[in-house]
Amino acid sequence: MTSLLVLNGPNLNLLGTRKPEVYGSTSLDDVRESCRRQAEELGLDLDFRQSNHEGELIDRIHACGQEVRAGLSIGAVYNPGGHTHTSIALRDAIEGVELPVIEVHISNVHAREEFRHHSYISPVARGVVVGFGVLGYRLAVTGLYELARQEGRL
Ligand code: CA2
């Protein structure tokens, strides 16, 4: 079965435990379950991951790029967390394997501190979903799925 990667960067394992006024009270396990149900409805396998380690995230992006080339995956929904604003290496990884990515942010980064307004990832993403809370993951999955259909990859 064709798969879909939902990738989460540093500190997103803390979701639902702290800062509910910014990130809500839903846990990352709840997000995983919601994505699992949505993937099932769409007839896709779900690969849901979180890592606090940049190299691990880069390796996963490379692997997913190969899966897309082989027709085994439609790409990734990616919340890069703090790496959004710092990581040229993650941007290069996405660009390097031409991975179809929908970038997602739970909070409206543009309504927050200025250092959150710039993303190294957005220029290499196919789309960006910002500020819808954890609903953004579902919107991003829908967007990635529709792009894959439009492009004849599903
Ligand atoms: O809004 C988002 O989804 C972010 O990607 C979350 C990142 C932040 O650095 C970005 O600017 C925007 C932070 C993820 C850490 O999440 C936490 C969740 C609960 C408690 C503490 C951190």
* DSSP structural state of residue 99: -
pLDDT, one tens digit per residue, over 88-109 is 999 999 999 999 999 999 999 9
The string of DSSP letters for 30-75 reads: HHHHHHHHHHHHHT-EEEEEE-S-HHHHHHHHHHHHHHHHTTSEEE
For residue 140, what is the enclosing H or E element? helix 135-150
Choosing from 6, 7, 8, 12 the residue with most ligand 1 atoms within 8 A of its CB, the one to mutate for a pocket test is 12
Q: Is the CB of 81 under 6 A from ligand 1?
A: yes
**In testing the pocket of ligand 1, which one of 26, 54, 83, 84 has its CB within 8 Å of the most ligand atoms?**
84
The domains found in the chain, sorted by start residue, are: 3-150 (3.40.50.9100)
**Please, what are the averages of pLDDT over each run of 10 residues along the chain (154 residues)?**
98 96 97 98 98 98 98 98 98 98 98 98 98 98 98 96
The residue count for the chain: 154
Q: What integer pLDDT is reported at residue 28 of this predicted model?
A: 98
